[in-house]
Amino acid sequence: MRNTAQSLTLDDRRRRWRRTKDFLARHIVTVGGIGVIAAILLIFFYLLSVVLPMFEAADMRAENAYPVPGGQAAADSTAFLVVEERGEFGGRLLNDGRFVFFRTADGGIESEFRIPLPDGVHITAVAPAQVARDIYVLGLSNGSVLPLRVGYDISYPDDVRQLVPSFEYPLGEDAVSTGSDVPIERLAGQVDEDGAIFVVRQAGALNLVNVGVETNFLSGETEVEDATVVPVRERLPSNEPAAYLLVDPRMDWLYVADESGELMMFTLNGAEPPQLNQRLQLATDGKTLTSLTFLNGGISLLAGFSDGEIAQWFPLRDARNRYTLEFVRSFAGSGAAVTAITPEHRRKGFVAAYADGQAGIYYTTSERQLLLRKVSATPAAHLAISPRSSHLAVLSQDGVLSNWDVDNEHPEISWSALWGKVWYESYPEPDFIWQSSAATNDFEPKFSLVPLSVGTLKAAFYAMLIAVPLALFGAIYTAYFMAPRLRQLVKPALEIMEALPTVILGFLAGLWLAPFIETTMPGLFMLVLLMPPMLIGAGYLWSRLPEPLRHAIPDGWQAALLIVPVVAISWLCFAISGPVEALFFGGNMPQWISTELGIPFDQRNAIVVGVAMGFAVIPTIFSIAEDALFEVPKHLSYGSLALGATPWQTLVRVVLPTASPGIFSALMIGLGRAVGETMIVLMATGNTPVMNWNILEGMRTLSANIAVEMPESEVASTHYRVLFLAALVLFLFTFIVNTGAELIRQRLRRKYSTI
């Protein structure tokens, strides 16, 4: 009895221990699974938290309003208004030559300066030359012109930021004579290190003033040459005086327009008379032109009309190789006439004021009206936006200056800008473009994710095109036909290939494989075309050999013999590549493809990516598919063979359907690796975001783009967040594909589980 009791006690302890282990294992697996799901959700929500701020609406909050500092509150007494970078200080140039520097917080005057105007002379006209650099051209009552640049000297006495306005005179403090003492009514101009061009309207007549600058190489000083004055003889069709004059920053074009919307585009050529290039009617349907200015960069024209519409135009080459203005897009305003337009300093956005006292913030690339807000009781006469686009100053016609805090971090982002065709400046038509950065602020960021998405699919497609047949056929032969001893050698060798770092594959693909394929391209195409039929021919010859010779090779070892014809055929194709290229392709097949067929060719192209990525993906697909095939219960294949089916019939009708869930999983895992691959496509594609499926051109993928551009992106910038959006797109693509693959795999398992 005692032994029986001890035995029961021991059995109870064992059962309790097994239950404890089962409990621990079940809960550890549960916690691990929940942890994986939680980690995936955390990644998703983190990506989403970085991306969502791009789609927040713009906002504008009133800070204060007060009578314009400096007296003379009439709107026409102000030549121009400026705001420094942080929006803490503003400046106002009065027509009498006084520059009032004031605090935007309360309107208190910090200091006053006077620009060097002759006695009794005042400013009669002003034109922005380059708003981003605060360069203005002043027309004076004595008929002369004075270019002026407003800058700021920054110091930090006692760690307190202090700004003092500074003034530069690109052509010296002496105003440039136009050859007439008649007051300037309208003007436009541009200044650079080589000189300046001004177009002035005096007594209704237009004159072109060309000024040269000569630099003394010994002293470094610049000397202004005498101005050359040339009349602009072409007249507007309406015979009305020019109400709007613009000269682009490159001094290539002159635009002259009147209030009816008639515009003339002239070609400028130094001191020669301007040559009429195009006549154009901007305003239609009874509208009048109420504002005309340049967008940042000086390429696009922004035309505001009496019905509140704002239209964008820029020059393009036509079929006769001439530049003509083309209408690009328009924005609906408040319905009241546009009274002022000011472009942003560093982006392709602008602010427009309307006759009903409202102001709107717009962005051209995203084609969005970001905000429309009442900013003054009377129409705005002057607008000034800070270089960071975070502060807006509005001077209304009743002399009240109001200051607004602007929150508009990501205006260039919209669904159409990310996924639709956008017409960018100087492009012949709307297109999908990715170009995130450049050297100047005039550049317009292009954030279309379509070329990157297409590049990702293109790289994955060509990689799978090469990897899937080789991996699946290899897995089928290895699992079903190969001798066990040979399988023990082949399978581990291929699985070891999977551990090879992809950076090594990318390095070899970029520096060795790409030049090799370029120089032996005929051999590569001959290899693809000749290898299958020649291997079939080799198999046929093997079947014709005497039976004693064939039976000398054990079953399942015949594949080892294929090494000889594969090597021989490969050597033959590449050996005759040079003579074939010389005979049929003029000695240079890539050049022949480009010139004769008109197909662009890049050394680092989709062929290189397909071979290199295929080499990386093959082990993954092969290993999983081979395991699935090999694990098919042997009684199924033995039963099929016993019922009279051939080995091929058994393979096709029994083994493959049973293993199909595993094979499908192998394909999906291989596709996931191909889609997410970074180093190979980074080093072997040329990394150009082109938008095509040409196998002879490269591409840029989403993952490679993130790896290349994330280190150079500014944290929390639009560029930074768009890269996170690219990562989110990859995440969602992988999630959707894997979820769909799992559903299909489960369906296949249910379908073939009864075989």
Other Cβ atoms within 10 Å of 47 Cβ, number: 19
Same domain, 409 and 488: no
Asked if pLDDT for residue 1 goes beyond 70, the answer is no
Find tokens 């300093």 and name the residue: 345
Of 24-28, 73-77, 92-96, 453-457, the one with minimum mean pLDDT is: 73-77
Q: Are residues 266 and 400 in the same domain?
A: yes
**How far, in Å, CA of 427 to CA of 329, rounded?**
14
Bridge partners of residue 254, in order along the sequence: 247, 266
Please, are residues 335 and 347 in contact by the beta-carbon 8 Å criterion?
Answer: no
Q: Is the pLDDT of residue 672 over 60?
A: yes
Sign of CA dihedral 650, 654, 659, 664: positive
Q: What is the DSSP letter of 183?
A: P
Structure tokens at 45: 């929500």
pLDDT value at 288 more than 90: yes
Q: How confident is the model at residue 735 (pLDDT cuts 50, 70, 90)?
A: confident
Residue 41 inside a domain? The answer is: no
Residues 279 and 318 in one domain: yes
pLDDT at 7 over 70: no
DSSP 466: H
Three state DSSP letters for 498-542: CCCCHHHHHHHHHHHHHHHHHHCHHHHHHHHHHHHHHHHHHHHHH
Domain membership of residue 205 (yes or no) is yes
Boundary (domain end) residue, out of 361, 390, 424 = 424
Is residue 247 domain-shared with residue 288, that is, in the same domain?
yes
Whether residue 485 lies inside any domain: the answer is yes
Q: What pLDDT is stored for residue 548 in this prediction?
A: 83
- Report how far residue 408's alpha carbon sits from residue 60's, in angstroms, rounded to the nearest whole number: 8
Extended strands (E) in 355-511: 358-363, 368-374, 380-385, 391-396, 400-407, 434-435, 446-447
Question: How many beta carbons lie within 10 A of that of residue 180, not counting itself?
Answer: 16
Helix (H, G, I), strand (E, B) or coil at 616: helix
pLDDT of 480-511, one tens digit each? 888 888 888 888 888 888 888 888 889 999 88
Q: What was the pLDDT predicted at 754?
A: 61
Pair 197, 242 in one domain = yes
Q: What percent of the chain has pLDDT over 70?
A: 96
Q: Which residue has the higher pLDDT, 391 or 219?
A: 391
Indicate if 241 and 387 belong to the same structural domain.
yes
Rounded to an integer, what distance in angstroms lies between the CA atom of residue 666 and that of residue 677? 16
Please give the residue range of the domain that contains residue 501.
450-516+603-752
Query: In the chain, pLDDT over 90 holds for what percent of residues?
Result: 48
State the residue for tokens 């002022």. 340
| Number of CB atoms found within 10 A of residue 226's CB | 10
In tens, the pLDDT along 55-101 reads: 998 999 999 999 999 877 665 788 999 999 999 999 999 999 999 99
For the record, the structure tokens of 688 come out as 């150009």
Model-level pTM? 0.87
Q: What is the pLDDT of residues 397-414, one digit of tens each?
A: 888 999 999 999 999 999
- Quick check: is 542 in a domain? no
546 domain-assigned: no
DSSP 3-state assignment of 354? Answer: strand
- DSSP class per residue in 289-314: EEEEEEPTTS-SEEEEETTS-EEEEE
Residues 84 and 223 in one domain: yes
Residues 6+ apart with CB under 8 A from 21: none
- Please tell me whether residues 472 and 411 are part of one structural domain: no
218 — pLDDT class (breaks 50, 70, 90): low
Residue 249: CATH number of its domain: 2.130.10.10
- Please check whether residues 418 and 495 belong to one and the same domain: no
Tally of structural domains, the chain: 2
Q: Which one, of 196, 170, 202, lies nearest residue 268 by Cα?
A: 196
For the cut 90, the answer to whether the pLDDT of residue 720 exceeds it is yes
Is the residue at 596 inside a domain? Answer: no
Q: Greater confidence, 213 or 274? A: 274
| Residue 107 near residue 67, CB atoms below 8 Å | yes
Q: What is the DSSP string of 62-114?
A: EEEEEEPTTS--SGGGEEEEEE-TTSSEEEEEETTSEEEEEETTT--EEEEEE
Taking 70 as the threshold, does the pLDDT of residue 222 lie above it? Answer: no
Q: Judge whether residue 700 has pLDDT over 70.
A: yes
Closest CA to 145 of 119, 171, 115, 114: 171
- 571 sits in which H/E element: helix 563-575
Specify whether the CB–CB gap between 606 and 695 falls below 8 A: yes
Give the CATH number for residue 735: 1.10.3720.10
What confidence tens digit (pLDDT) does each residue in 161-202 have?
Answer: 888 899 999 888 888 888 888 999 999 999 888 888 999 999
Q: How far is CA 394 from CA 305, 355, 369, 380, 605, in A?
A: 20, 13, 19, 6, 54
Give the DSSP letter of residue 439.
S
Domain end (from 424, 440, 460): 424
Residue 557 lies in a domain: no
- The answer on pLDDT for 4 being more than 60 is no
Question: Does 90 share its domain with 179?
Answer: yes
State the DSSP H helix or E strand holding residue 124, giving kind and residue range, or none if neither.
strand 123-130
- Mean pLDDT in residue range 288-305: 94
User: What is the spatial distance between Cα 165 and Cα 150, in angstroms, rounded to a whole number?
Assistant: 7
Last residue of a domain, one of 362, 390, 424: 424
Same domain, 510 and 378: no
Q: What angle do CA 355, 357, 358 make, to 5 degrees?
A: 100
Strands 338-343 and 78-83 come out as unpaired
Cα–Cα distance for residue pair 452/691, rounded to 1 Å: 8
CA distance 213 to 31: 77
What's the rounded mean pLDDT across residues 408-424? 92
Residue 571 included in any domain: no
Token couple for 303: 């035309």
* Tokens describing residue 79: 């030549």
Q: Are residues 275 and 333 in the same domain?
A: yes
- Coil, strand or helix: which one is 614? helix
Contact 445, 413 (CB under 8 A): no
247 residue type, one letter: V
pLDDT (0 to 100) of residue 372: 94
